[in-house]
Amino acid sequence: MEIQKILDQKYRQYNKLSFIEKDPIVIPHQYTKQQDIEIAAFFAAIFAWGNRTTIINKSKELFKRMDEAPFDFCLHHKPKDLRKIVGFVHRTFNDTDALYCIEFMKHHFTRSNSLETAFFTQQLTGEKIKTVELALTHFQEYFMSLEHAPRRTQKHIASPTSGSTCKRLNMFLRWMVRKDKQGVDFGLWKTISPSDLIMPIDVHVARVSRSLGILQRPQTDWLAALELTNFCRSLDPKDPVKYDFALFSLGVMEKYN
């Protein structure tokens, strides 16, 4: 298939450590401790809309305010330390959102040693969650479950129940679950396999996918993400989201129409 040749070639071209330098995934790659990687990746993914240089710079700014130790800061901060976060803003994400995220991280990491359980374990029963769709729905509910959770913060934590593509959280899950010899993604989480991941789809990926004829749905929503994932799964059942490298790079770096 000609399309598969194109996508495989672009995947090999961009799935390299050189890709990291100008992509938000560079942020968690600055850390070695798993909890630091998870927290840094979470914020970098949540910030990931708009200009990539700005996303990277804003992520660096936030972690500078956290003394370059996100896990330690989230878990052991004193009330006076939180003053460092006041005034932070990235587009519609502000210090209210950042402070609540920090509160959530402290809540979760005092009960678990990984964010993986925030997505893939039912908090009340301990039962494993085995699909990304259910995990994303569960995570939003859990994330917003703390007392005094700001309603405004929920818009940063997408859920399939609203029809969202959940692009940023699907990208975060790609970073955490997917692993290969190239070393771009981390592959830290094992509850699900890379074959279960859903494609992170934004306007660029959707535009390229429609141009290639591999996405028919006119709306860019959760059902479009599933449709595109199913196509990519037909090319590589074990690692469908590897084509995120190809489709994203064609759209953003090569301006393919």
Report how far residue 221's alpha carbon sits from residue 201's, in angstroms, rounded to the nearest whole number. Answer: 8
pLDDT for 138: 98
CA triple 51-87-119, angle to 5 deg: 65
Per-block mean pLDDT, blocks of 10 residues, the chain (257 long)? 91 93 96 98 96 96 98 97 98 98 98 98 94 98 97 97 98 97 97 98 94 96 98 98 94 62
pLDDT for 254: 54
Query: Nearest to residue 17, comparing CAs of 186, 177, 167?
Result: 186
Q: Hey, which bits of 75-222 come out as E strands?
A: 89-90, 93-94
Report how far residue 25's alpha carbon sits from residue 171's, in angstroms, rounded to the nearest whole number. Answer: 10
What is the DSSP code (8-state) at residue 146?
S
Per-residue buried b or exposed e for 29-42, using 16+ beta carbons within 10 Å of the residue's own CB: bebeebbbbbbbbb
Q: Which residue has the tokens 């590589």?
A: 236
Q: Are 118 and 137 in contact (CB under 8 A)?
A: no
Report how far residue 12's alpha carbon sits from residue 34's, in angstroms, rounded to the nearest whole number. Answer: 27
Beta pairing partners, 94? 89
Coil, strand or helix at 68: coil
